Chains A and B, each alone.
Chain A
């Protein structure tokens, strides 16, 4: 087929494009990610019985703020990576700041704690399962976000996959906050970030294959 003919055929297919179609696809994926993580949490793990009392403590909201800010920054980065010719720019800073702040807080707390309490602050009671649970809760989101990205046009595939994974991981961690009983900052500075890093790595590895268009 000659290029002219291809063009004629393409021109016939010039449907009006909804200017919000891009945002709508990402919003659907986001909804599926949140819904999936919450459903998994409710039926797989259950919510803490003392959630309401816990919600009155500032540390609960501080813990929630970590995945929430990371999710916002990862969403911004993903949305920019999904469009050709758009640079990520300042969204990178948005990703670094929450992680760095939490790490500074964790180090200060470890510094102030008596020597024999430090290990307990990092390991808590659930260090064996925390990261894996977060990774598991992020699974529906990872699938939904990758599916949405396939209908968009990312050109840096492993990086886009990684950001999709981080977004899913942050949403998984957000849901896990409703279950988690660990109040110590050094604990979640370690295991929450590790839990979010797992889907990030998975997304980066899958990116080239899954997002190719």
Chain B
């Protein structure tokens, strides 16, 4: 390597993720999709290492982190390293989870755990323990429907708009509000 030791080394993953994320900040949904998938793979491994005794909860925490990243997009400055930003969010959500987990455990008789002893499944990627779909059901129709259409049928915004008779911006707003409400529900579960 002949590189100048003064130039900071940028990890190829950081470089790739950052480029996709910055494009998503300009509204590129496809780049955002690629970014989130890529990031989720890395975070899943990271969380599994960090929560060795709580593998069943990894997918839950991961989903929370993704929602947290989504809601915080406007706090990322494009010239800053993405890793530091993501890492701080992951750590925040992980501490939050562990705090709630400790409180939850303290409330339960340890004997209660016995029937769950063999219930641990580890098919990859693990099923989330908390069913976001159930939380979604609790939302009002206008917040739930756009998400359900995109989610279950994998339709594009244009198709959902045609199907529901809503305008495209209205469908987008529906998804946006639905996601916000969903994040609030998760937080409500925790406190």
Contacts and interface: CB of A to CB of B under 8 A. Distances in A.
A85 to B, nearest CB: 4
Interface of B is mostly: helix
A11 B33 contact: yes
Interface string A147-164: 000001101000000000
B17 interface: no
A58 interface: no
A12 B151 CA distance: 10
A85 B172 contact: no
B125 A3 contact: yes
Given A1-B128, A84-B72, A7 B89 contact: no
Interface stretch (B5-13, B49-57, B77-85, B112-120): B77-85
Interface string B27-54: 1111111001100100000000000000
B101 to A, nearest CB: 16
Nearest to A5: B151
B88 interface: yes
B73 interface: yes
Contacts of B87: 85
What class of interface size applies to chain B in its complex with A? 35 or more
Secondary structure class of chain A's binding surface, majority of residues: loop
B66 A7 contact: yes
B78 A10 contact: no
Nearest to A157: B92
B30 A6 contact: no
Contacts of B63: 1, 3, 6
User: What bracket does the count of chain A residues touching chain B fall in?
Assistant: 20 to 34
Contacts of B29: 11-12, 14
Given A3-B125, A18-B74, A213-B187, A9 B36 contact: no
B131 to A, nearest CB: 7
Between A5, A8, A84, A155, the greatest number of chain B beta carbons within 10 A of the residue's beta carbon is seen for A84
Interface of B: 24-33, 36-37, 40, 59, 62-63, 66-68, 70-78, 80-81, 84-89, 91-92, 96, 125, 127-128, 131-133, 136, 147, 150-151, 154, 157, 172, 175-176, 179, 187, 191
9 contacts: A3-B66, A4-B37, A5-B151, A8-B33, A9-B150, A11-B32, A17-B74, A19-B25, A153-B72
Interface of A: 1-19, 21-22, 82-86, 152-153, 155, 212-213
Given A13-B70, A153-B72, 10 more contacts: A1-B128, A1-B131, A1-B132, A5-B151, A6-B67, A14-B32, A21-B74, A84-B84, A85-B89, A213-B71
